[in-house]
Amino acid sequence: MSELQSDRTYPVTKSDEQWRAELTPQEFHVLREAGTERPFVGAYTDAKTVGVYACRACGTELFTSETKFESHCGWPSFYAPLAGDTVEYIEDRSLPGRPRVEVRCATCGSHLGHVFEGEGYETPTDQRYCINSISLTLKPAS
């Protein structure tokens, strides 16, 4: 899989060598190469801890536990980001015949997961941000 390409300049920009030095190989694969962790194995899939979920690569706060819900899809699901400008959306046509919307951290450009609409979940936004656990770090409320 090729590494992330974007015309955008992010506030946090590092070379691939710097990212590799800071992230584990699996974290690098998901965050910087738009990989996907296996379903039902992530640390936050079933987490109920109250707090804020931040980008594992740069620490930007992205989602809160208040918007996390059980979708039973195998990855943590949220119905909205913390603020609209904390994430960016990229058209993803990597699966033939099935366009998706990729979700990236707006601060460093790291891949987080995808967002889906109209799946029938009873959430305020009718959206499911399907996010890789490995892309996140949970900061528990004090």
| Contacts for 118-122: CB closer than 8 Å, 24+ residues apart | 121/69, 121/71, 121/77, 121/79
Identify the three-state secondary structure at position 25.
helix
Which of the residues 55, 105, 108, 130 is marked catalytic? 130
Token pair 């009873």 is found at: 122
Q: Is 58 a catalytic residue?
A: no
Residue 100's CB is within 10 A of a number of other CB atoms, namely 16
Name the residues annotated as catalytic. Answer: 130
